[in-house]
Structure 1
Amino acid sequence: SLDQAELKKALVEYKIGSVLNTANNRALTPQKWYQIISEIQEVAIKQTRLKIPVIYGVDEIHGATYTAGATMFPQQIGQAASRNRALVRRGAEITAYETRASSIPWTFSPVLDLGSDPRFPRQFESFGEDPYLAAELGVAIIKGYEGEKNDIGHPEHVASNMKHFLGYQVPTSGKDRTPTYLSEEALREYHLPSFKAAVAAGSHTLMVNSGIINGIPVHANHDLLTKLLKEELGFKGLVVTDWADIENLHRRDKIAATDKEAIMLAINAGVDMSMIPYQYEPFCQGLVELVKEGKVKQERVDDAVRRILRVKFALNLFEKPTTNPKDYPKFGSKEFEEAAYQMAAESITLLKNEQQTLPLAKNSKVLVTGPNAKNMRTLNGAWTYSWQGDKVDEFAANYNTILEAVQQEIGAGNVTYVPGVSYKPGGKYYEEAADQLDEAVAAARDADVIILCLGENTSTEKPGDLNDLYLSELQTELARKMAATGKPVVLVLSEGRPRIISRIEQQMRAIVQLYQPGNFGGNAAADVLFGDVNPSGKLPYTYPRYPNATISYIHKSSEEQTKAEGVYNYEADFNPQFPFGHGLSYTTFRYNNLQLSKEQLGKNEQLTVTVEVSNAGKVAGKETVHLYTSDLYASDITPDVKRLRRFEKIDLKPGQSQTLTFTLTPDDLAYTNLHGKKVVEAGEFEIRIGELVKKFTLTE
């Protein structure tokens, strides 16, 4: 229950206008949320001088994170693997509905950071390493949250929050909230497009990158928050800090000698709302003093207040400060669960399938082993019922683990389970222990096939930092011992980032990537393993082979030298375990007849690209068709080897063909020059779809 004295102190005395937190870092029922937020609004509307409602916001990341019984979807990285804009949008619509059923009108989602560093502890929260993919799915998720016309006052819509502006996921160290160095060209070419698209799509709010770019904490960077975001992009919504990040300017980043100076820097840089986890009084007192002293202009405060009030009005909080769960009968419904299952099924990515090991026969005798086999936590990831996802098993007992789903699929009598390795209860995410390792080896003798469930335990933010991207030693040992039995091993990965498997990959007969697929990931995994679902996911990142070779598919041609002639004759290569866009199927897709509407493209013309895709196999399947362009030569910056410009997912029956049509403009071929300006430059280009390549020329 709420402390009424503290509530009145915050809202009445200190005039706090937002609450951005959870109760004891654990999920509550919709009814409990409604009770708490109703009490808060009662004080705000009836006891404060101006009677302005509070805006309540939480991290609803892949479903209504902090609501018991809510529908949990795959994390964003899995949603990106689905390449299905409609499913991404539908997932956001359902999350918005269930968030409003909890009386919460604002979610801190989507993550629009480029997830191009596999070391980073929050890569799973991103749409992966490609700017176009992140922009397209970012727009889909925003329209799902806010509605087609961004009418967030609708009782089934919420305000979205694009985060973390800008360049958050590429720190030099790969660790959370640590510095990065980004040129103006790289910032605009790779990291800005997803935010630019989201602003154009009408997202109402934005959260700031908690790190440092080029020596300047982003929360104190006027060039990024005001000049770029508010002036150049024309963002009219509110800018909120991340957790405690104004005081971090003083305590962590040492750019302000006092908390008060930190407030001055952040507000003057363009921050509109401060997310203060603990002591709010110093901020309130400090800001008032700064305005009186003339160090923060009254107009800057007025602008921030206007931006916040506009969002509160848009959310219809003045007319309807709460939403009652009784008005949301579809909460946790079978309809919603089916959508979550469908997303999980389409996200699962088949990385390897030697000797057509998959799908498995349903009369197989199966050994299921590994720490992720009987584990709902690793299917969901962090931001599930709590921050780190450590309470998942308490809330998700009614859903199937991988083990339970396999037992349902082929009968418990055909399944043997031995953990082999387990995560330490209550320990850090990386703490593991051998658990009947020898028994697992013995059990393999009676099995036709081994389903080996590995990956990592859940974590996010600083607790998820790591020093070694290789799969853990114990899990690697378990994999080697399973392979040594001579039985075919199917490696099933559930992980937030691509843990390196090159030490064991060759010994695995098949490899399936689940990412963190949500509460229906176990069912979807079993359906893929036994052929009820034909996998159609495509990697949203480059899966590295070695920890010192974490190069994105977006790279320069010098990464692919076979030999650099000279004194040293050194060699360099780009040799990932699996490339961006990789994903196998149980059928065979053939690409034919790539055609361009013209060989010479003028600067005010459009290029039409057509390609025929056919299902040459024996089962129906879904295929994502990626269109890449390559700029063969550029004048002042070495061009990237290739860039994704379009993608489309299609569904083909055996023997069926479909012709896809894509349209490109010269703007799609532009690049950012050294001065941060977009350049459309005449020259020779290539279009690549599958193995098909066609050249054309862009003319002056």
Structure 2
Amino acid sequence: MKKALLSLSMLALASACLSNSPVFAAPASNVANTPVIKSDPKIEAQVEQTLKKLTLEEKIGQMMELVTDLFGANDKNGVFYIDEHKTDSILSRYKIGSILNAPNTCAPTAKQWEKYISQIQKISMKRIGIPCVFGLDQNHGSTYTQGGTLFPQNINVAATFNREIARRSAEATAYETRAVSVPWTYSPTVDLGRDARWPRIWENFGEDCYLSSEMGKSMVYGFQGKDPNNIDQYHIATSMKHFMGYGVPWTGKDRTPAYISPADLREKHFAPFLAGIQAGSLTVMVNSASVNGMPMHANKDILTGWLKEETGWDGVLITDWADINNLYTREMVAKDKKDALRIAINAGIDMIMEPYSCDACGYLIELVNEGKIPMSRIDDACRRVLRMKYRLDL
């Protein structure tokens, strides 16, 4: 009986220790008081000056990202061109702040890219006075430019255990991407690939959090350079992805739920993202699925609490492809699209990758006017987007 009581006492003590353990504590360096990206007073002044001039519609427009295809069409030979009338209509009505992807998901030539982007930017400056920011999935080289340099996938880069190879490949990709007037890539992928069934295992740096942290950090330096407040014309912004737990889906299939212990989530899966934002990554893309039953696009504790507030990170948190829709079509945590937007924006989403629709603009205006999204949250999101554009010297 004494042995049983002793065992129960030890178990109770162990449980008490575990319950008080700092599994969800802030990083030891207390980076909340020392932001991971040092604030630049000049940029902050420019951001505030621009922000106060914008209407609610213009602020919401900066939070939107559409696909390039919407701004043009194919000619009789199947070659894409920018339709200036259509572009003017979209930008004047919705004030869109960001555009992604190559037209027809094919790789244009450098001259085509220059023409497409200059046409859109000319109209954007006329209608909004703020340039659009373009983004591409340059995950293993300049994959969306004809004649661009291609590198091995990240899983092969990780196999070298060589930080310099990771940095230099990213640096070369940045050079070629910025040369075609695109200043942003949705890379590097730092999900921990801990399930070989996952169909995107080749895109990350493997299962180890230290290796993923070091390789991811090296790529951020290669893509952006060492000063995130002053990204020159040879470098581009990064988007660490997919925040987080994306690489261990319970079914093995892409974009499906993961179940991860709180300790592993904090100590392992969070680590590469923390390393990346400490290196200065200007943006982070969110996991398309759910972790432990909570859709990541709705998880305010992690998106705002862990990523923004604990670290002082002032970058842009962007959705993946049309993922806010999943909150009501798949996850069933929202009753409709408007409700899904309310949940996601209040959780901490700053930019909505809504490729083929501008519906979100109207819904967000309604939500603000109804008091369901505070104006301070819209200002914060828009401020982050503007800050990225100033840091890129757009």
C-alpha distance in 1, partners of 2:207/2:158?
10
Match of 1:81 in 2: 159
1:310 aligns with 2:350: no
3-state DSSP class of the match of 1:310? helix
* Pairwise CA distance, 1:23: 0.2
C-alpha distance in 1, partners of 2:267/2:304?
19
C-alpha distance in 2, partners of 1:110/1:68?
21
C-alpha distance in 2, partners of 1:234/1:242?
23
CA contact (8 A) 2:228 2:391 kept: no
Work out which of the residue numbers 339, 361, 369 in structure 2 matches 1:292: 369
* Pairwise CA distance, 1:12: 1.2
Question: For residues 456-509 of structure 1, what are the alpha-carbon distances to aligned partners after superposition, in whole Å with 9 as ceiling and x for unaligned?
Answer: xxxxxxxxxxxxxxxxxxxxxxxxxxxxxxxxxxxxxxxxxxxxxxxxxxxxxx
Structure 2 stretches lacking a partner, 5+ long = 1-80
C-alpha distance in 2, partners of 1:150/1:101?
19
CA contact (8 A) 1:219 1:241 kept: yes
1:278 aligns with 2:349: no
TM-score by length of 1: 0.44
Match of 2:300 in 1: 222
Work out which of the residue numbers 263, 280, 301 in structure 1 matches 2:378: 301
* Pairwise CA distance, 1:151: 5.0
CA contact (8 A) 1:152 1:158 kept: no
CA contact (8 A) 1:151 1:157 kept: no
What value does the CA root-mean-square deviation take over the aligned residues? 1.0
Amino acid at match of 1:289: E
C-alpha distance in 1, partners of 2:315/2:213?
19
Where is the helix percentage greater, Structure 1 or Structure 2? 2
1:41 aligns with 2:136: no
Which aligned runs of 4 or more in structure 1 are off by greater than 6 angstroms? Answer: none
* Pairwise CA distance, 1:225: 0.4
* Pairwise CA distance, 1:170: 0.5
C-alpha distance in 2, partners of 1:121/1:284?
33
CA contact (8 A) 2:95 2:127 kept: no
C-alpha distance in 2, partners of 1:158/1:190?
27
Work out which of the residue numbers 20, 31, 41 in structure 1 matches 2:100: 20
1:29 aligns with 2:109: yes
CA contact (8 A) 2:220 2:276 kept: yes
1:177 aligns with 2:263: no
* Pairwise CA distance, 1:76: 0.3
Amino acid at match of 1:143: Y
3-state DSSP class of the match of 1:107? coil
CA contact (8 A) 1:89 1:141 kept: yes
Match of 1:9 in 2: 89
Structure (1 or 2) with the larger CA radius of gyration? 1
Work out which of the residue numbers 260, 279, 287 in structure 2 matches 1:201: 279
Match of 2:10 in 1: none
Question: For residues 8-60 of structure 1, what are the alpha-carbon distances to aligned partners after superposition, in whole Å with 9 as ceiling and x for unaligned?
Answer: 22211111110012200111111101100101100011233xx0110100101
C-alpha distance in 1, partners of 2:270/2:311?
10
C-alpha distance in 1, partners of 2:161/2:210?
12
CA contact (8 A) 1:165 1:206 kept: yes
1:108 aligns with 2:225: no
Match of 1:233 in 2: 311
CA contact (8 A) 1:95 1:145 kept: yes
C-alpha distance in 1, partners of 2:142/2:333?
36
C-alpha distance in 2, partners of 1:254/1:150?
38
C-alpha distance in 2, partners of 1:230/1:19?
24
Question: For residues 385-439 of structure 1, what are the alpha-carbon distances to aligned partners after superposition, in whole Å with 9 as ceiling and x for unaligned?
Answer: xxxxxxxxxxxxxxxxxxxxxxxxxxxxxxxxxxxxxxxxxxxxxxxxxxxxxxx
Question: For residues 220-239 of structure 1, what are the alpha-carbon distances to aligned partners after superposition, in whole Å with 9 as ceiling and x for unaligned?
Answer: 11011001110112221000
Tell me which of the two structures has the higher relative contact order, counting C-alpha pairs closer than 8 angstroms and 6 or more residues apart: 2
C-alpha distance in 2, partners of 1:2/1:143?
34
C-alpha distance in 2, partners of 1:217/1:239?
15
* Pairwise CA distance, 1:5: 2.6
Question: For residues 598-628 of structure 1, what are the alpha-carbon distances to aligned partners after superposition, in whole Å with 9 as ceiling and x for unaligned?
Answer: xxxxxxxxxxxxxxxxxxxxxxxxxxxxxxx
Match of 2:68 in 1: none
